[in-house]
Chains A and B, each alone.
Chain A
Amino acid sequence: MTAWLKRTLLACAVVLAAQPAFAQWPTYTSKSIPHKRDGTVNLDAPAPRAKDGHPDFSGLWERVGPGGINPDFAALQSKDGGPPAATFWNLGAGVQNGLPFRPLAAQLRDERMANDQKNNPDAHCLPMGLMQLHLHPQPRKLVQTPAIIVIMYEGNQGLREIFTDGRSVPELNEDLQPWWYGYSAGRWEGDTLVVETVGFRDDVWLDVQGSPLTSAARMTERFTRPTFGRLQIDVTIDDPNAYTKPFTVRVNQQILADEELIEFVCNENEKSARHFDP
């Protein structure tokens, strides 16, 4: 073996040994993501636009802001005077006096909490409600086309379609098949995407504490992308069966650049529920 070949093989071995043992997709740097000179993502760059001129919300997004079950109330208040931020645990943690529960809804939420949320659908690998999916610590990927927006939530593999082809949501009637994620249709108001959703099941949980949602609900989401790195969703829940009046909360998301979803199939080895105490 020549000295040249030995050196080449040695160099190859060193390079291969230096490669990290990726446990998922190797890092792939997208050319469309704006970076600062120091290599970090420029979150404050202008939001991109789609070919049709609308803001493009496509990307992998991660919930940001206070979390946990007892976040600081003041920290949940929006600095721009907008609605308070919601948390995964408690949608109304930042709402003055809490969510406007009707008595039966408050009773149901209290029962669910007293039962340690054992009946949370997510704890049994059933779908989470849209607000749980919006606020889940695991990310979600939004793919936008002119006629439809798809959101793939890593948390419990939620999948949602938002039609933006001009259709309206179905009329609520007794024949409409209730869905975990409902029926969503969006329209543009300037740079804001306004999404209406109806047709929910009666057993949807809005948060881990068990704030209910019923089939009478109408959900209105206002999506904006103030900068490249930030997605803001103001969500109004109007559910006269469970709440005395509509309320609005905010979901704040930040771009997760150069990362991908990781497969999450909840039922592949679910063994927790059998240990739930009776």
Chain B
Amino acid sequence: MKGRWIFAVAAAGALVVQGSADAHHSFAAEFDRALPITVTGSVTKVEWANPHARFYIDAKDEKTGETVNWDFELASPNGLMRRGWTRNSMKLGDVVTVTGHRAKNNPHVGNATTVVLADGKKLFAGSSSENEPPTAAPQ
């Protein structure tokens, strides 16, 4: 039960992810390494669909105090499922803290690198950015 074993390890917060990240598009096409973000909010929607799983959270904008809905991109469902996650791993209403990077052209779209529940449990360890280099320099 390989998938189950991986899930158990992940739940313990000790997952070391190797291998397949999503390769649908290059990180730099959409996101900016110079715009790191940390956002905390409650989950309003989960889209467990290709080519990227996505989730949405309501979070308070620090500057305006208004609640805004963030759109976060994860790896593809097939990659996440091989690591033991399922479409029900994240629940509506979960309060999560997301670290990642912001999209270049939208202030409330991001790529999630880590997703941590209020109790410290990590969700979806490994994201679509993990195999990406810091810069896509020509070789």
Contact = CB atoms under 8 A, between A and B. Distances in A.
Given A68-B133, A275-B103, A275-B109, A264 B78 contact: yes
- Main SS at interface, chain B: loop
B24 to A, nearest CB: 6
B26 A27 contact: no
B29 A20 contact: no
Contacts of B131: 67-68, 137
Interface in B72-107: 73, 76-79, 81-82, 85-87, 103-106
Interface string B52-67: 1010000000000000
B55 to A, nearest CB: 12
A11 interface: no
Contacts of B81: 23-24, 262
Contacts of B109: 275
Interface residues on B, range: 35 or more
Interface residues of A, number: 46
- Main SS at interface, chain A: loop
Contacts of A120: 25-26
Most buried by B among A98, A155, A263: A155
A15 interface: no
Interface string A20-35: 1111100100000000
A272 B52 contact: yes
Interface of B: 1-4, 19-21, 23-26, 28-30, 47, 49-52, 54, 71, 73, 76-79, 81-82, 85-87, 103-106, 109, 131-133, 136, 138-139
